[in-house]
Amino acid sequence: MEGLFGRFQLLLAPMAGVSDVALRALCLEQGADLAYTEMVSAKGLSYANEKTRHLLALAPGEERVGVQIFGHDPDTMASQAVWIEASLGDALACLDINMGCPARKIVSKGDGSALMKDPDLAVRIVSAVKAAVSCPVTVKMRRGWSEETGESAPSFARRMEQAGADAVCVHGRFATQLYRGVALWETIARVKDAVSIPVIGNGDIASGAAAVRMRDETGCDAVMIARGAQGNPWIFAQAKAALAGMPVPETPSAVERIEMARRHARLLCTHESRAAVRMRKHAMWYVSGLPGAATARGKLNQCSALEDFDRVFDALLDKVDRHAA
């Protein structure tokens, strides 16, 4: 597994409703070493749900992919892990088990970060999945469940290692924090000290400089970027240069941001059935802070086809040009 994260040191996180084929393709183009699918429901796969299976489609130019699954039944998790491995073959770089998602609809069913409250069940899941597949198995987790219950990440990570996990990814917030406050990177460092398997650092990476600080402060083996990549695939080019000690590319211009948004829309419309709905939030991230963005957001919310997005982007380009003049 050290070899895997020796090659894949800069990762796009699995984000529900965000890590679609278009975003993954653009982030890989900009320098991401590996991208993860949106989290996939093991239960949904077990029902042969085509909507769920669609999440496993490879992005254009994507030779290797990380797949994240969630659930709480060890047998279902293991059987669907087998199906994923058989379906993707050599394209599957690793299989990640979600024990970090704090969303209420996930934890209310005992999935995601709720598993950090039941380490024994978490161990059974990892053991079952690891015994069922030959690919690397990793676990994504948080600092712990809540401030009241305290930080459990180091001890939890040790148990995941003992259960067979090949690596752990640690987000430095408690589950009950959701995405509020600051991710505590010291937690990642403590997990790194507690286990012998690779540790991936996650949380609050919004620039190339932040990626370097996380690596240097925690000793993590790889850096995973999540919200920092929303509307900003360029963060991977910046992080890759910064981690290599090279000059960091300049921040993209307004024109470059709009053109990337246009490319994202085209890719989505080619590969996704609900492209317009998905693209609305991506488009708002791309145009945030640009002249005319407030007006554009209202129009983007009404877009239902690629041509609608193009019209909004054209109008925004005109606004940018006039503002520059």
Point out the residues that are catalytic: 101
Instruction: Convert 78-124 into a string of H (helix), E (strand) and C (coil).
Output: HHHHHHHHHHHHHHEEEEEEEECCCCHHHHCCCCHHHHHHCHHHHHH
Sequence-ordered list of residues with C-beta below 8 angstroms from that of 122, at least 6 positions apart, any chain: 99, 115, 116, 139, 156, 159, 160, 163
Would you call 291 exposed, middle or buried from its count of C-beta atoms within 10 A (0-12, 13-18, 19+)? middle
Structure tokens at 232: 């900003």
Cα–Cα distance for residue pair 75/293, rounded to 1 Å: 48
The residue to which tokens 């040191």 are assigned: 9
Sequence-ordered list of residues with C-beta below 8 angstroms from that of 112, at least 6 positions apart, any chain: 70, 98, 99, 100, 101, 102, 103, 106, 175
Helix (H, G, I), strand (E, B) or coil at 139: strand
**DSSP one-letter code for 73:** -
Structure tokens at 310: 């193009």
The b/e string for 42-70 (b: 16+ C-beta within 10 A; e otherwise) is bbbbbeeeeebbebbebbeebebbbbbbb
Give the other-Cβ count within 10 Å of 76's Cβ.
18
The residue to which tokens 């598993």 are assigned: 115
Order across the sheet with 167-174: list the strands.
Answer: 34-35, 10-12, 222-225, 199-202, 167-174, 137-144, 92-99, 65-70, 40-41
Sequence-ordered list of residues with C-beta below 8 angstroms from that of 280, at least 6 positions apart, any chain: 300, 301, 303
